[in-house]
Amino acid sequence: EAGVVQSPRYKIIEKKQPVAFWCNPISGHNTLYWYLQNLGQGPELLIRYENEEAVDDSQLPKDRFSAERLKGVDSTLKIQPAELGDSAVYLCASSLSQTGELFFGEGSRLTVL
Amino acid sequence: GQNIDQPTEMTATEGAIVQINCTYQTSGFNGLFWYQQHAGEAPTFLSYNVLDGLEEKGRFSSFLSRSKGYSYLLLKELQMKDSASYLCAVRERGGSYIPTFGRGTSLIVHP
């Protein structure tokens, strides 16, 4: 069974440019999470989806970050415009339900110059 | 909210045993996860505790005491490949059930 797939693995952009990350969760997993991880820190939640509905996005900086999960499967996380402080690894995870174990993708490492 | 505390870094010798502690404060405990994360890779699930006691899985065991807000991950017969970050995550009851992660403990295993 395929795991959580994310792309791109690495992205380098200049500040003020837009960037988008894509996530394909494990088939059948209704719950999808986007986490941000800084070096030496644990993952911090940005947004959680139950199917296509964003049910917890209180930590998402909505002035520059947006996310969608059309049809309740794949998800996209966008940053526009990017700032230097956005440099981090963006992790996507999925689970069968909101109480299940999380399965993580390998992450998208963003560097903003 | 939650407050999760674990040591930043630990070192141990190949073949030895190491215990990584995690303490937490939460208003409504609903389970504790341990994840392993090698540098540049995704976190991978190790264990889940929701009741008090010890859960053993091969060389890895995880313990939980809900009354003390305390868990530990025990790694036996350490191997070089066990060098990684170990993340403790606590799920809170009510509402979101979203796991909140600690900052992780970087374990260095040396020969």
Q: Is the pLDDT of residue B94 over 70?
A: no
Average pLDDT estimate for B33-55: 94
The pLDDT value given to residue A42: 93
Q: How far is A70 from chain B (nearest CA, A)?
A: 21
The pLDDT value given to residue B95: 61
DSSP A86: G
Closest CA to A40 of B10, B75, B39: B39
Q: Is A42 within 8 Å of chain B by CB?
A: yes
Question: Which of B47, B98, B107 to mutate: most A Cβ within 10 Å?
Answer: B98
Q: List, in sequence order, every residue forming a beta bridge with A89; answer none if it has no partner.
A: A37, A109
DSSP A61: -
Q: Is the pLDDT of residue B2 over 70?
A: no
The residue written with tokens 């407050």 in the block is: B3
**pLDDT per position as a tens digit, B45-88:** 999 999 999 999 999 999 999 999 999 999 999 999 999 999 99
**pLDDT per position as a tens digit, A42-101:** 999 999 999 999 988 888 998 999 999 988 899 999 999 999 999 999 999 999 987 788
Measured in residues, chain B has a length of: 111
State which residue of chain A sits closest to B38, comparing Cα positions.
Answer: A106
Model confidence at B11, in pLDDT bands (50, 70, 90)? very high
Residues of B in Cβ contact (< 8 Å) with A4: 42
The pLDDT value given to residue B27: 83
DSSP letters along B61-100, please?
A: EEEEETTTTEEEEEE-S--GGG-EEEEEEEEESSS---EE
Q: Is A38 within 8 Å of chain B by CB?
A: no
Q: How far apart are CA A30 and CA A14, in angstroms?
A: 34
The pLDDT value given to residue A109: 97
DSSP letters along A21-66, please?
A: EEEE--TT--EEEEEEE-TTS--EEEEEEETTEEEE-TTS-TTTEE
Q: Is the pLDDT of residue B1 over 60?
A: no
Binary contact (A42, B44; C-beta < 8 A): no
Amino acid symbol at A84: L
